[in-house]
A and B are shown apart, each in its own frame.
Chain A
Amino acid sequence: MSAHATTAHNEELNYLNWKTGLWSWLSSTDHKRICFLYLFTILIFFFAGGAAALLMRLELASAGPTIPGIVKDPHTYNVLFTLHGVFMIFLFVVPGIPATLGNFLIPLMIGAKDVAFPRLNLFSYYLYVIGATIGAISLLHPVDTGWTFYAPYSTTTGTSVSLMVFAAFVLGFSSILTGLNFIVTIHQLRAPGMTWMRLPVFIWASYATAIIQTVATPVVGMTLLLIIAERVFGAGIFDPAKGGDPVLMEHLFWFYSHPVVYIMVLPAFGVVGEIIPVFSRKPLFGYKMVVLSSMAIAAVGFIVWAHHMFVAGISDFSAIFFSLVTFLVAIPTAIKVFNWVSTMYKGSISFSTPMLYAMAFVFLFMIAGTTGIYLAMLGVDVYYHDTYFVVAHFHYTIQGGAVIGLIAALHYWFPKMSGKMYSETASKFAFALVFIGFNLTFIPQFVLGMEGMPRRYYDYPSQYQNLHTISTVGAFMNGFGYTFALANLLWTALFGKVKAPRNPYNSVGLEWQTASPPIHENFPETPVVDKDPYHYGTPAHV
């Protein structure tokens, strides 16, 4: 894939500086600037959610009250894990890669000037801000339900559930509009020659993600509204005391909240599929199967939700059905991993920071995926359900998958986004902290799960003491790692001296064929695509 040679144009004027002033950013409909708006906002909540997590870990460092000055009672702890979940999921990971890198890259990678509906894009961002603000207001009387908002606890507790749930509804609306925008963009705005089978896998992953966002989010939106109706008017749909059905609420909730993990992790798959070929100088192995597996995961993801409910009182028959279909997810996921590894075969592999993150991703996701098998197995899940094993598995998929994917992507596309080159030494040091800290945090939690430690416990019997302490140490290391990695990027973006060339990795990706950073409308003239997306290496002599 290559763009037509760009004609001479003003190298100095790019999307970052063609207009200046704060308002030019806050009112910009340029997809690349909206990427940055999202990035800064979601990172606020990443650190807020992270702080909540570290406080939890500190409290759990020893049995009994550990930091009574801060976490003064179990209620405070319950608030902390709720905020951690709500912030990380609704405010950070769901918009994580799609709203930031999806925004930045989709038009660039398909050779478009912008997304299909630029103003709707900005509107989505402000919906996100409104949702985040409502969520922040609810902190005056913070929610203690857990991010799952299970009824009837959520419909009867005295905390401001209605506000937080409404915030999640607004955020969901923002997510729907973003997904809708991306689907239309990918359908309508591909450059001449950019056929479906020439789309980079990141685009395919974003496309599958956007479909899930559009189809699943309305369901949770309405469910959240019904929780409000239950609390404010006593609508009698979820609360058994009023004749409602709490298990129905669980079904509706997981109908969204299972696919939502694919919203989080599919784009990260896409990122890894972009990074490995470039740093191996090889075409992506089995491109069609990788594409197909993304779509398969998105499709199968919709019919597996009740595997969160094997012990929730569903019938044995549905448990068996949902267990079987859940195993189907393992197959396309395995296909992806095999293809990524095979891409490295006979490559010319260099170990820049993005490649290290991508390889770490493969390792972490192997653990995430194989531990997922335990949880799909009926008999074993009965034991593991709602224990620390689930917590650890979930964090391996979402942190080891989605967050590591986001950090990898931020490093990989950083030269394009900012026009600067970051320090490899600093970023590799941060990588080591993140990688070691992450495993140190969550491997002990697998063992805790094996020993039966239930999740969402403010306190625990002393037999679990040592593993909890190790996990706490790891969590702080992990937290420092992320802070260091992001601070390194921020510092480079603001004060870095080394200018990034147009195509520092010698990639064939379309986004690398325009200037770094790109001009306002991306390409001086519409590119024409005439090659496959990963055109690396020398064709074999037959």
Chain B
Amino acid sequence: MSSHAAAPHEVAPGDPPHIHHMDSTTAYGAAKLGMWLFLATEILLFAVMFCSFAIMRYYHLDKFHDASHHLNLLAGAFNTAVLLFSSFTAAVAVTNAQRGDNRGVVVNFGISILCGFIFLLVKAYEYSEKAHHGMFPFVWNSNFYEYKNFLGIYFTMTGLHALHVIIGMVVMFIYGIRPAMKNRYSGRYYTPVELSALYWHLVDLIWIYLFPLLYLVG
């Protein structure tokens, strides 16, 4: 997790923060291990949704198939491309940080966050489109009553994912961009950038599974 990230005052820019109970190499290893464990818990969180999706689809196969055609395939595909690109820039930002290029971190994380905004905008457009057709979350318009299980899963999964997108954007800003603007990172210390990027990759990865399941397979 990111508890190590705040910089105590006495540390020179580019040096790891002083942590009273362990040395900086241990701290780096601990932070990375902690983050990976946290990502594992996130995946398990979504695993429940994937599992529910599989079961519900088994029960309501036809309905799922029909309902998925009501999703905006173009918007979904566009969003996939946007997130993939943002993951790339996040990875570049890590390289930037390792090379001490704090400006690069700001720019590339900036692009990733921008992509996040675009993703959310498109998602909001898709939601409003659904709402317009009476397929708004959980208020079952009788026309779409038969799709309720698909829509229930669709809105729960994409809603939860969108929440993760927002968290990822906030994390990249607070632990990536803000310290980088103060030239905080160097080859000796770039843990928060790496961890923020890891988290963003997870957000991307989950979408990579959501998109084909919801939009293509149905």
Contacts and interface: CB of A to CB of B under 8 A. Distances in A.
Interface of A: 112-114, 116-120, 123, 176-177, 180-181, 183-185, 187-189, 214-215, 217-219, 221-223, 225-226, 229, 232-237, 242-245, 248, 252, 521
B59 interface: yes
A117 to B, nearest CB: 5
A117 B37 contact: no
Nearest to A251: B51
A214 B29 CA distance: 18
A123 B6 CA distance: 15
A116 B38 CA distance: 14
Contact of A188 (B33, B148, B160): B33
Contacts of B33: 183-184, 187-188
Contacts of A248: 51-52, 55
Interface stretch (B19-27, B185-193, B208-216): B19-27
Contacts of A181: 34
Nearest to A521: B21
A225 to B, nearest CB: 8
B48 A252 contact: yes
A229 B155 CA distance: 10
13 contacts: A117-B4, A120-B1, A181-B34, A189-B26, A215-B41, A218-B41, A219-B47, A221-B45, A226-B52, A235-B138, A237-B56, A243-B148, A521-B20
A229 B3 contact: no
Contacts of A237: 52, 56, 149, 152-153, 156
A182 to B, nearest CB: 10
Nearest to A520: B20
B181 interface: no
Nearest to A123: B3
B54 to A, nearest CB: 10
Contacts of B45: 218-219, 221-222
B60 interface: yes
Contacts of B137: 233
A215 B4 contact: no
Contacts of B78: none
A234 B138 contact: yes
A219 B153 contact: no
A187 B149 CA distance: 43
Nearest to B53: A237
B107 interface: no
B140 interface: yes
Contact of B21 (A113, A120, A229, A234): A113
A218 B30 contact: no
A206 to B, nearest CB: 15
Contacts of B153: 235, 237
Given A187-B33, A218-B44, A234 B52 contact: no
Contacts of B34: 116-117, 180-181, 184
B7 to A, nearest CB: 14
A20 B163 CA distance: 41
Contact of B40 (A116, A215, A225, A233): A215
B9 to A, nearest CB: 17
A184 B37 contact: yes
Contacts of B4: 117
The 3 closest A-B pairs by CB, nearest first: A233-B138, A235-B152, A113-B21
Contact of B30 (A189, A229, A234, A236): A189
A238 to B, nearest CB: 9
Given A113-B20, A244-B56, A119 B3 contact: yes
B42 interface: yes
B142 to A, nearest CB: 14
Interface in B54-80: 55-56, 59-60
Nearest to B153: A237
A180 B37 contact: yes
B84 interface: no
Contacts of A225: 160
A233 B26 CA distance: 46
